[in-house]
Structures are given as structure tokens and as C-alpha cells.
Amino acid sequence: MLDIKFICNKRSLSGILVSLSLVLSGCVGFTEDWFVCGDASESASPGVEQALSPYYNAARFVASGKVDVDKKKDSVTIVLETLGGCIKEGDAFDWDGDYYFADANTFAYSFRGDTLLLSRIYEPDPYEVNQERYEESFIWVGGTPGAFDGVWLMTQCRYREEKMYCTDDGYDQFFRFDNGKVELRVVDRENYDYMQTIFVDQLFEFLGDGGSIQLETPYYYSDTKYGQERSGVEILEKTNTAMKFAYADMTFDLTVDYARYGDSLHVTLKSGDASCVGTVSEMSEVGPEMCVVDNEDYLWETSAGTLKYERQNAREFESCIDAILGRVSD
């Protein structure tokens, strides 16, 4: 059993509280005093699971499977299953309804009131240098103190060797455990700042030095600092989905018109009368009608061994921007 050390640092907890407030719109009423050390009975926060349930119900289904809790070893194994899928064999594509894949992950667990820590140890890669063995604990909230069954929010904060780290991604993951079964759902975060993401950073870099723009959804949903200073961009106006900025004596208007994680994206960049549109369409589960050779250029293998569909127009988007700038595309 792992020896999990729980840190009580009010300043370091601010990242958790910010993440939760974005998802729950402040309805739960978390305070710094909510997260304390001590017995589960002392730190329980009643009503959290009830507050999470509407968000879970509105979230999109991603995967389901099984969960096995070993109380003697304080361990839990979460198995997300793939049942059926699009398979490529040689040059042929076929939808196999009997295909099965299990993605299993085992963690040590510890409860602190309605907070659940799932921990694991990462061993260094023997073929990599300067890697060390470390322990990482993922912070989950919302369930019933001392019990797995219920709805849990996997927060974007974790402990690594007793230090807390938080990310700021544009979606949240909810898990529901029910009598040995698990279901994973994902929901886009309300008021997420799409104008401070890797995609925008890459756009600024492309304007300045070229490079490339990735339109895949992870780049829209990963928070990062702006790169406008090194690219010579001046931001004039900004909201969470739109931005007006100046570059090379030109004014640009950038808008994220539509964004749905794991589904589709639509972004528009305008300058004067010129308009460039970037689009992404993707499906993690490919049905029989899409599992055909005509979609070969858009079918990509996943870790489960099945194929997912992803189609985007990044190169056309770049060429359109080059035309606005009067540059010749590569």
C-alpha cells in the first residue's frame, strides 16, 4: 500500500477551488476550510454529489466498463472497455462488432471526506536519461465519504511528490461508479477562455515566423501563456471566444464560433474583406457506415486498436492566412 501524504496548504488549494467554481458556478459553496486534514467525519462536505449530478447528467458519454475495489490492499482498478469498432487489416477496413479491448489502470486509494485520492507510482523509462521514480495522486471530489459508488469529478489538480500541480483544460471528466460498474462522461467547461490556448499561441507564432497550426481539439483545450510578444502581436480587445489584434499594420478578428470537445470545432480569422475558416470534425467511435476505404485519409488508430475519424483543414487554413499576409505558402 502506498503511503499517501496529504498536504494541507490553503494557498496551494486555490487551483482546485477555481477549477470547481468554473464547473459548478459557485453553487456548491466551497471554501478554503472545506479541505482539511483529519477523519472523514470531520472533513465531509454534504450535498456535493447532489450538486455534481446535473452536470454529470448533461455531460456526454465517453466510455464505460468495470471497477474492482480491493479494500484489503487499498487499491482500485478501473477498466474502460471498447466493445466493437472499426478495424484495418492490410488495405481493408471492416467494422467488427465482436472486437473487445480493456484499458485497465490500478491505483492506491485514500479518502478525505468527500475527497478521493487515486495514486500510482511511475517508474523511469530505462531507455531515457534524467528520469526519476515518482508518485502522483489524482484528486477527485463529489462522492460519498468512504464509498466509491456515486458521481465523482476528476479535478485538474494532482499531487506529485507532495507538491500540488493544476492544469486549466477546457473540459471536465466525470466518473460514476455503481455496484462494480463505471461510466465516464465529459463536459465542456462554461466560459472557458479559448483565446488563451495552445492554438492561439501557434496562430501568433505562424503569423510571425511561420511554423504550423494544429487544429486538433487538444490544442483548443489546453491553457497556455500568450506568445504575442515574440511574434509582434498587439491584442486590442478580447473575450473568452473572440479577440481583435494587430499585426504588421493589419487588424485581425479571431472568433471560435463553435467548440465541442471530441466532436467538432469551427474558428474564423478575418482581416478586412478576407476570411479564413478552420474546421475539425472527429468521432472517437466509428460506425459501419464510416468504416470504409473512402475515409482512409481520416481514419487513425487509437490506443484501443480501433480507428477513430478525424478530418481538419489546417493546411488550407494556413494557406489562407499566408494569402492575407502576402506570403507564399510552402
pTM attached to this predicted model = 0.78
Measured over the CA atoms of residue 14, residue 15, residue 21 and residue 24, the dihedral's sign is: negative
Which runs of E-coded beta strand occur in the chain?
A: 60-70, 75-89, 92-112, 115-122, 134-141, 150-160, 163-166, 171-178, 181-188, 234-238, 242-247, 250-260, 264-271, 274-283, 299-301, 307-312
pLDDT for the residue numbered 309: 95
Return the higher-pLDDT residue of 64 and 114: 64
What residue spans of the chain are helical by DSSP H? 14-24, 40-43, 48-58, 198-209, 217-220, 228-231, 314-325
Which residues have CB under 8 Å from 81's CB, separation 6+?
A: 63, 64, 65, 66, 100, 101, 102, 103
* pLDDT surpasses 80 at 220: no
CA distance 41 to 176: 22
CB-CB contact of 77 with 105 (8 Å)? yes
* pLDDT surpasses 90 at 58: no
* pLDDT surpasses 80 at 61: yes
CB-CB contact of 44 with 38 (8 Å)? no
pLDDT tens profile 259-302? 988 889 999 999 999 999 999 999 998 999 999 999 999 999 99
